């Protein structure tokens, strides 16, 4: 049996991690499990329309609220609620005020999916 890595058995304080950055739309990695990255992100305003052809994506609201827009409807998410966007579904998060979100998705998944713009993060930072 492989030895446990110390970084895998330490607790993560989400609120403390969120104090380490202020920029919007730039997810930070705070954990990894089974090939999935656990990320924290702050956003405000409208994001780019995009989809992830090969990955589902989970959004859990830690603080604030936002709406997930789809081409034919939208869904509001409040603190403590989460939503899973299935692979291949075009979506756009929109936050009228700053929101803090935990994301879960496969490692290597770009935040802008099939779209590329100035908000695309190719190599997210670990914090």
pLDDT exceeds 90 at position 19: yes
Task: Give the sign of the dihedral formed by CA 64, CA 104, CA 85, CA 53.
Answer: positive
Claim: this prediction has a pTM higher than 0.85: yes
The arithmetic mean of pLDDT across residues 5-15, rounded, is: 79
CA distance 26 to 5: 27
The arithmetic mean of pLDDT across residues 111-120, rounded, is: 79
* pLDDT on residue 123: 87
Q: How much of the chain, in percent, has pLDDT values that exceed 70?
A: 94
The arithmetic mean of pLDDT across residues 103-110, rounded, is: 92
Query: φ, ψ for residue 6 (rounded to 5)?
Result: -55, -35
DSSP class of residue 6 equals: G
CA distance 125 to 127: 6
pLDDT exceeds 50 at position 1: no
């Amino acid at each position: 049996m492989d030895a446990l890595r110390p970084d895998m058995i330490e607790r993560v304080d989400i609120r403390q991690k969120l104090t380490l950055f202020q920029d919007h739309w730039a997810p930070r990695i705070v954990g990894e499990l089974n090939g999935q990255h656990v990320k924290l992100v702050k956003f405000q305003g409208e994001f780019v329309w995009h989809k992830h052809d090969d990955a589902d994506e989970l959004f859990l609201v830690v603080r604030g609220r936002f709406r997930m827009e789809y081409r034919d409807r939208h869904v509001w998410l409040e603190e403590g609620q989460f939503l899973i966007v299935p692979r291949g579904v075009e979506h756009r998060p929109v936050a009228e005020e700053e929101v803090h979100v935990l994301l879960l998705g496969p490692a290597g998944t770009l935040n802008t999916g099939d779209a590329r713009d100035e908000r695309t993060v190719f190599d997210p930072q670990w914090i």
